[in-house]
Structure 1
Amino acid sequence: MAPVSHTSGNWWDRWIVYYMSAFILWLAKLMGNSYGWAIIVFTVIVRVILLPLNAISIRSTTKMQSIQPQINELRKKYPGRDTESISLLQQETNKLYKEAGVNPYAGCLPLIIQLPVMYALYGAILRTPQLQTGRFLWMDLSKPDPYFIMPILAMAFTFLSTYISQLSTPASSQNGMTKIMTYGMSIMVGVMALQFQSAITLYWVISNLFQAVQTFILQNPLKYKREQEAKAEAERERKRKLRRTYKRLGRKQK
């Protein structure tokens, strides 16, 4: 495959892949010609740029989880599969989204942006001679990790970021499919990482590690757990007061 250049045939190679390749090579010079460190710094830069979108995505997801019981009630209200029931369900769901300030598509934004970045990085690695011969630690960046360390890390950090996110999710909104998705996505990333160049896998590892730390900070499962425990204790106290009130009323009636 011909090296990418500013005169490459199509606009994607000419304006995206070429400049991504040039940026990574520039970073490598700053890092003492270390292409591995260049990819790590590049990944962190991409994740920092995406941070505002991820914050919006997390807020939207949190709001979506808070109204999930109401959505479930609407589904019970309109269980039919006929056109009228589906239309009414959609209308009331959209109304609920609007009232709660929820954008159901906001959670997809970071992923939609990251996919072309990964695709462009893949093209840059394939068509940049320096990255084809670059090494980092024990790895040849143009080949899969021979010791499977990076695929295992990619799988572990993918699972960790998803697991941390679930710790801040109400148990009522989790189901068997959620657990299947958690394990399934982690395994899928691990299997793909076995076949991809180590440069791509290195991007995944750093990106998913950043995602795990970001999720922990923004969603703060420890704070969420304390809040849920406080709510549960307040509810128990409310019920105790009600029982005491009923007992007093019962004694007065006697």
Structure 2
Amino acid sequence: MKKRLWIILSLVSVVLLLSGCTEFDQPISSESEGFWNEFIVWPLVSVIKYFAELLGTYAFGIIVVTIIIRLCILPLTIKQIKSSKKMQEVQPQMKELQAKYSSKDAVTQQKYQQEMMALMSSSGVNPLAGCLPVLVQMPILIGFYHAISRMNNTSAFDLGTFLVFPLAEPSIVLAVLAGLIQFVVLRTGPAVDNPQMKIMMYIMPFMIIGFGIVLPAALSLYWVVGNIISVIQNLAIYKPWNKNKTEATTTGGAKK
């Protein structure tokens, strides 16, 4: 069931991405037709424009809208992070069950599934809890990405600059900054304790830097602001300083 659900989620994500990619390099306006344009991209463009006119620059407009979007999906994000945290906490017990029921015959696997479900139930872990937040966030985040990109291809919008960086042109500085903050996001999140996810700490930052070097700096600004918010969320939820104290105490006790 879990595998089937992830396949469905993957297909939905691809559909959402492709729905925007078909007009990725096209101008955007209130006359743009289609569900993706009318209900996701253009509303986001309108809100960015409103705050840009209110605050004086598109840079501030992008920053404010990024913060608003992150605040709106914050409850879902927290739920997803907490679900991942709980799942990580029961990993040792899950590995013990996998070793105990390593045989692939039907009877053994049935017992394995029963004990696994009992473990998750007693631990308050819901393996599907993180799926809905991802599904809800996907069109919003992809839509915001496309809104900025298509504004850059529309002559009616002059994105201007952020500090000294033209938002319509790639910025190596903002791209590297976005990548570095992404590393901090992963370093303060669940990936640092998960060997399978640890590789992401080294791949994701370089991917963001690579995209940022060739895409408009407005997108790098979006990543910078969004990643800063993610770091704050991780610090509030995971409290890595408590973990460091625990490790130091454990190490000190072991030496004695």
TM-score, reference length from structure 2: 0.77
Of structures 1 and 2, the larger Rg is shown by 1
Matches within 5 A, 1:120-139: 120-128=143-151, 129=154, 130-139=156-165
Aligned partner of 2:243 among 215, 218, 224: 224
CA distance in 2, matches of 1:61, 1:126: 32
**Post-superposition shift, 1:23?**
0.5
CA distance in 2, matches of 1:132, 1:119: 21
Matches within 5 A, 1:95-110: 95-110=118-133
**Post-superposition shift, 1:87?**
4.6
Indicate the SS of the match to 2:126.
coil
What do the CA deviations read for 1:57-97 (whole angstroms, capped 9, x no partner)? 23222221221111001110122345555454334322321
Of stretches 107-116 and 42-51 in structure 1, the one that deviates more from structure 2 is: 107-116
CA distance in 2, matches of 1:190, 1:106: 31
Aligned to 2:23: none
Instruction: Give the residue type in structure 2 aligned to 1:92.
Output: E
Is structure 2 residue 166 aligned with structure 1 residue 140?
A: yes
Aligned to 1:49: 72
CA distance in 1, matches of 2:208, 2:131: 18
**Post-superposition shift, 1:40?**
0.7
CA distance in 1, matches of 2:98, 2:173: 45
Calculate the aligned-residue CA RMSD, in Å: 2.8
Is structure 2 residue 47 aligned with structure 1 residue 23?
A: yes
Answer whether contact 1:168 1:220 (CA < 8 A) is retained: no
Aligned to 1:198: 217
**Post-superposition shift, 1:42?**
0.8
Is structure 2 residue 170 aligned with structure 1 residue 151?
A: no
CA distance in 1, matches of 2:246, 2:90: 17
Aligned to 2:3: none
Identical columns (%):
32
Is structure 2 residue 69 aligned with structure 1 residue 69?
A: no
Aligned to 1:209: 228
Answer whether contact 1:164 1:221 (CA < 8 A) is retained: yes
Aligned partner of 2:201 among 157, 182, 191: 182
In structure 2, the CA distance between the partners of 1:152 and 1:113, relative to structure 1 (3 Å rule), is farther
TM-score, reference length from structure 1: 0.77
**Post-superposition shift, 1:138?**
2.5
In structure 2, the CA distance between the partners of 1:70 and 1:188, relative to structure 1 (3 Å rule), is same
Aligned partner of 2:187 among 163, 187, 203: 163
Instruction: Give the residue type in structure 2 aligned to 1:16.
Output: I
CA distance in 1, matches of 2:95, 2:148: 46
Alignment coverage as a number of residue pairs: 227
**Post-superposition shift, 1:211?**
0.6
Instruction: Give the residue type in structure 2 aligned to 1:40.
Output: I
